[in-house]
Amino acid sequence: MTSSTTQQQQPKTIYLIRHAQSEENRRLASVKTAIKDLFKFSLPKSSDIYAGMELINIPAQIDSNVSPVGKSQINEMADALKAANFLETEQIEMVVHSPLLRAKETSMGMLSCAAPDTRVAPVQRVLELDLLLEKTPAEWTIRYSSFVQRLFDFETWLEQQPESKIVLVGHSQFFKALLHLDFKFGNCDVWKVEFGGQPVEQNADDATAPKWSNLQKLFDCSLSDIEPKELAREMDGK
């Protein structure tokens, strides 16, 4: 006889924010513009060519600062969140950000929260978490399995946290892989999604409930450089 559900985990409400445009994002955008110009048999701008050459400095791309456009994005969204009284209205208990500069600057600028010691009411904890790092160059190819393991480790970590209303400030590729999406979040957009809530014990014949569900966009950055295919959608099994 199969066992039946005896306990139901309460779902957590997770708010996802992709960092503001970084210098790396700016340089990559310039390279794309230069390539488009070449395909049109036009001479690329010298500024776009120079930005492409800057990409050779790999360490600078891995942990690059927010760009001037990124700072404008942060200011716009900070005003929007303040006007909506976001932290209090959504009863945010914890803010977690990637240790990379662009994520930390975004967290501080938009939420006035950054590890190790800056917080605002009603936020109880502000953490810097290595698991939220962007996919590294090594994880793109040979060590991709390590990135998948990191996603699993992050979900395990999230399940173990006592807070139920959590903001994550991180990176587009991480969020895309975590939620199994076919699009990337725009810079500084704020998304809301439910995590967990699946039975701790359930019938053997039951399908495992999805860990992530009910994705929706709450705040849209007008200066965002990426438009997703769908502005908001519910996730069925993703």
Q: Comparing 118-127, 177-186, 191-200, which segment has the lowest mean pLDDT?
A: 191-200
Q: In what order do the strands lie in the sheet with 94-97?
A: 125-128, 94-97, 165-170, 12-18, 190-195, 212-219
pTM here is: 0.75
CATH code where residue 13 lies: 3.40.50.1240
Same domain, yes or no, for 151 and 231? yes
Instruction: Give residue 15's pLDDT.
Output: 99
Question: Which one is predicted more confidently, 60 or 231?
Answer: 60
Confidence bin at 122 (pLDDT 50/70/90) = confident
Same domain, yes or no, for 36 and 148? no
Q: pLDDT (tens digit, 9 = 90+) per residue, 23-53?
A: 766 555 544 454 554 555 565 555 544 444 4
With b for 16 or more beta-carbon neighbours within 10 A and e for fewer, the 180-219 pattern comes to ebeebbbbbbbbbbbbbebeeebeeeeeeebbbbebebbb
Same domain, yes or no, for 5 and 83? yes
Q: Has residue 119 got a pLDDT over 80? A: no
CB–CB of 17/172 below 8 Å?
Answer: no
Distance CA 149, CA 136 (A): 13
Same domain, yes or no, for 139 and 227? yes
Q: What percent of the chain has pLDDT over 90?
A: 50
Range of the domain at 44: 23-64
Same domain, yes or no, for 113 and 82? yes
Same domain, yes or no, for 131 and 190? yes
Work out whether strand 125-128 and strand 94-97 pair parallel, antiparallel, or are unpaired: parallel
